[in-house]
Amino acid sequence: MDDPSELFDVVDSEDRVIGQATRREVHTKGLFHRSVHIWVFNSRGELFLQKRAMTKDENPGYWDSSAAGHLNAGEGYRTSAHRELMEELGISEELQFFMKFPASRETLWEHVETYLCTTDQKITINPMEISEGWFWPMLDLKESVHKHPGQFTSTFHLFFDNYLKSKA
């Protein structure tokens, strides 16, 4: 379950720290803050997606990136990405930076750094964060996103669209 008293850095439109606030405050007031999203592929090129637990304060029950989370106050993006991989999926992998998205409505007012990795390690989902998850063949994922767009988070759509463009 998300802790409403967790402390996050509040940032400006250029992602410069201007203060700190609790999880509850940044979400209720729509303050800019930071998060990471990581996509985990297996050696067959399938992408692991998580279905967010129903206890999450944002997008409960939606399909999302393999692992994702907010940066704690004072934490760097890459450090947070490694922490989230371990907390949510129980794995440690080398991460490749993909893209940074500025805070917007689609990112829920978060500046988001995105990372990619490939692993065949056994994934152990954290049931406090994730209700289910599995590896999707890309063709199946494209079809599902097209047919059922409302089942995926807005940040996932942004990441997915940009990922597909980068591969075209």
CATH number among 3.40.50.300, 3.30.70.20, 3.90.79.10, 3.40.1190.20, domain 7-167: 3.90.79.10
pLDDT band at 24; cut points 50, 70, 90: very high
Give me the pLDDT at residue 58, please.
84
- Alpha-helix runs per DSSP H in 56-153: 77-89, 138-147
Q: What is the pTM of this model?
A: 0.94
Domain coordinates in residue numbering, the chain: 7-167
- Residue 143 three-state SS: helix
> What angle do helix axes 138-147 and 154-167 make, rounded to 10 degrees?
130
Give dist(CA 141, CA 139) in Å, integer.
Answer: 5
Token pair 């500025």 in the structure block, residue: 102
pLDDT band at 2; cut points 50, 70, 90: low
